[in-house]
Structure 1
């Protein structure tokens, strides 16, 4: 049983004759008759009464007609949806981003993407790098933004942005007049940090391990506005991307004496075929990064 045979069968049933069906299908009448005969042979059932002037369905043919209509409608629906997806008239992109990038880097990109492709649905999830990787593996999101210093072997990554982590402190802090800050000086201060699992925290954990010191953590929170408030009131210093404090005159961003650069990448499951909508999103992000 194939789609062509079902289409021929349904047309004969609805028009009541092989010749009429052949005319509507734009094929020769013997081709229709042969297709129906092969269908009956494969099913080992008679589908039409042929001893009448107008052919009519047997009881078995009535049952098959009901299924044929449903099957052919499903095929038409699938073809229409595939066309819409190909033309980007519909589709969904599920992407996970860390808090800093979700708040300060991605909003204009997401809005520009939505403006260019208004029919596509965007679902944006905020989480730490490690949690995003787990969500990708579980299929909860299509892709996520990760720090690609040591990308997992089971993820495909495409770098789109390099950012420098900066030491953030109040404008009146004793260290604020320096050109840069050493790791030793940074780790003598009380720190305001993200919780574990975020790349912000992983940077600090890595730097403190390399320096052989234990960081003095005064506050742990993933709320960026709260971190900025705590730091601006002199209750600790932190590390953030420079873009986060660019418009805040109360805060100063100093590079580390040994600069800390982060390579940020879009990542998805290796070997997983991205939908056309997701491929378009990846291309768009890379295009925007290149233009920036």
Structure 2
């Protein structure tokens, strides 16, 4: 028996949203309709497609393979719909955006939502490693990533460039300096994003290159936690200069061993860069 288009559409929406209820909302149908179509598809395939977890749906290996194809098909259907539909003002739709840092992603999202308030935005922060994995799996519409790896078919657009800096409270003993060395931080508590982050990779490479050991390092789950930790006097944060929202309570000092600048890029997976919503977001980000 062949699967119906409705079953494939329901499956793809559930795989995209990692939720039956959100899939139903995105398609404008009931949740029971989604679960019934998915159940019928599982019966046809003779295998389980989703595992229910507390934080959402987990795709089985069979579902991962099917989603690689069905997501492309759904994207092509969206392109056809857009060609047929009027090219008037954007009034609805849903963009799934991921990033490995809150900035510059959030300022771009803010500018976009002011122009297109009816477009729904789903935004998630991940480590650089997980963000690249999701890009490889095409598990988003848009990714804003620091120095993304080149993947076949992806579209990469540079947004800006920024160096790493040490972020300190203004009353920190080192805050009056013009610049710092990583050696100055050897006995300080250094705060950085978690393992798998681009920052961890760069700082680890630099400390090895210069024979420097940072004796006390605190790894946080997200960039905002780095800022909160610095503001609370926990230590010195090392992150890209524009990754944190500016604060009059903080200073950002250059690091002598880390003069390089790194690109923040907007990346779109294959088959998605021509979607009307994606193009509109790209226009805002690059203006």
Please classify the TM superposition score into its range, dividing by the shorter chain length. 0.5 to 0.7
- Are the aligned partners of 1:84 and 1:90 in contact in 2 as well (CA < 8 Å)? no
What SS class does the counterpart of residue 207 from structure 2 fall into?
A: helix
1:196-220 CA deviation, whole Å, 9 max, x = no partner? 1222323322222222334334422
Aligned to 1:228: 227
- Are the aligned partners of 1:151 and 1:157 in contact in 2 as well (CA < 8 Å)? no
Aligned to 1:178: 177
Structure 2: gaps spanning 5 or more residues: 1-78
Aligned to 1:97: 99
Q: Give the CA deviation at 1:185.
A: 2.0
Q: Tell me the distance in 2 between the aligned counterparts of 1:163 and 1:213.
A: 23
Q: 1:136 to 1:80 in 2, by over 3 A?
A: closer
Aligned to 1:151: 149
Structure 1: gaps spanning 5 or more residues: 1-77, 288-292
Aligned to 2:265: 265
The runs of at least 4 consecutive aligned structure 1 residues that moved more than 6 Å come to none
Aligned pairs (5 A) from 1:125-136: 125-136=124-135
Aligned to 2:110: 111
Give the CA RMSD over aligned residues.
Answer: 2.9
Q: Give the CA deviation at 1:162.
A: 1.2
- Are the aligned partners of 2:182 and 2:212 in contact in 1 as well (CA < 8 Å)? no
Aligned to 2:277: 277
TM-score with structure 1 length normalisation?
0.61
- Are the aligned partners of 2:194 and 2:200 in contact in 1 as well (CA < 8 Å)? yes
What SS class does the counterpart of residue 180 from structure 1 fall into?
A: coil
- Are the aligned partners of 1:100 and 1:241 in contact in 2 as well (CA < 8 Å)? no
Aligned to 2:18: none
- Are the aligned partners of 1:85 and 1:276 in contact in 2 as well (CA < 8 Å)? no
Aligned to 2:76: none
What SS class does the counterpart of residue 215 from structure 1 fall into?
A: coil
Q: Tell me the distance in 1 between the aligned counterparts of 2:273 and 2:169.
A: 47
Q: Tell me the distance in 1 between the aligned counterparts of 2:150 and 2:217.
A: 32
Aligned pair count reads: 206
Q: Tell me the distance in 1 between the aligned counterparts of 2:240 and 2:204.
A: 16
Aligned to 1:14: none
TM-score with structure 2 length normalisation?
0.61
Aligned pairs (5 A) from 1:1-292: 82-84=83-85, 86-87=87-88, 88-101=90-103, 105-148=104-147, 151-154=149-152, 155-243=154-242, 244=244, 246-249=246-249, 251-258=250-257, 259-269=259-269, 273-287=273-287
- Are the aligned partners of 1:169 and 1:252 in contact in 2 as well (CA < 8 Å)? yes
Q: Give the CA deviation at 1:262.
A: 1.7
Q: Which has the higher helix share?
A: 1
Q: 1:83 to 1:138 in 2, by over 3 A?
A: same
Q: Tell me the distance in 1 between the aligned counterparts of 2:261 and 2:133.
A: 24
